[in-house]
Amino acid sequence: MRLIVARCEVAYTGRLNAFLPESIRLLMLKEDGAVLVHGDAGGYKPLNWMTPPTVIAQEEGRLVVRKRAGKSEDRLEIRIAEVLSDVTHDMGEPASLEKDGVERDLQEQLAAQPEALGEELRLDRREWPTDVGPVDLMCKDAAGEWVAVEIKRIGTIEAVEQLTRYLGFIREDPAKSACRGVLAAQTIKPQAVALAESRGIRCVEVDLAILRGEREPDLTLFAA
């Protein structure tokens, strides 16, 4: 991974246009072709980014990142006025994220019985890959539409944000543009429910003991 701290301005053109005026920013250039532009505020979210596959060209005082998007091309042009730091690190082989025991067991049980999420669903694949991480369960509903399911022990605002990122990537595919999101957890925070509802994400509280058949079902549903 290459990390550049530089005073720069950033212009994004393609499906939309965006411009970041000159300021000091962190540029992350990943081995897989992803490019992220971060400021020193805004939490973990980049100010602008480009997902792989990309083509990166470096010229004097400028980085240009290109990506084909159907018949058009997205372009991220970074004009560098001053480089404060430029280092490259070998990150080695990535280790996969390991879920805790409860999340892993919930995923296994819901993969075997996705209808426990309160609607007729058919599992397509577990750990469905995206450029921003794997979706726990990718399913299809009774109408044949895609449904992305994120599974947590405790559903928080961060879990809603994570599922939102997955949906953003998935919906870039025209065949999956209507993909819906479902957040499943043993407990879901009220703030997370409110945020999910505002984004059209359905929340379902599930009980591992019920899924295992150890006691009678008593699902709590929050309909978005």
pLDDT tens series, the chain, 224 aa: 999 999 999 999 987 889 999 999 999 999 889 999 999 987 788 999 988 889 999 999 999 999 887 678 899 999 999 999 999 998 876 655 555 567 888 999 999 999 999 999 999 999 999 888 899 999 999 999 999 999 999 999 999 999 999 999 999 999 999 999 999 999 999 999 999 999 999 999 998 888 887 766 544 455 44
State the pLDDT at residue 219.
46
pTM for the model stands at: 0.55
- Considering all CA atoms of the chain, what is the largest pairwise distance in Å, rounded to the nearest integer? 67
State the pLDDT at residue 43.
79
**What is the DSSP pairing of strand 202-205 with strand 55-59?**
unpaired
State the pLDDT at residue 223.
46
Cβ partners under 8 Å of residue 105, min gap 6: 208
Specify the 3-state DSSP secondary structure of 51: coil
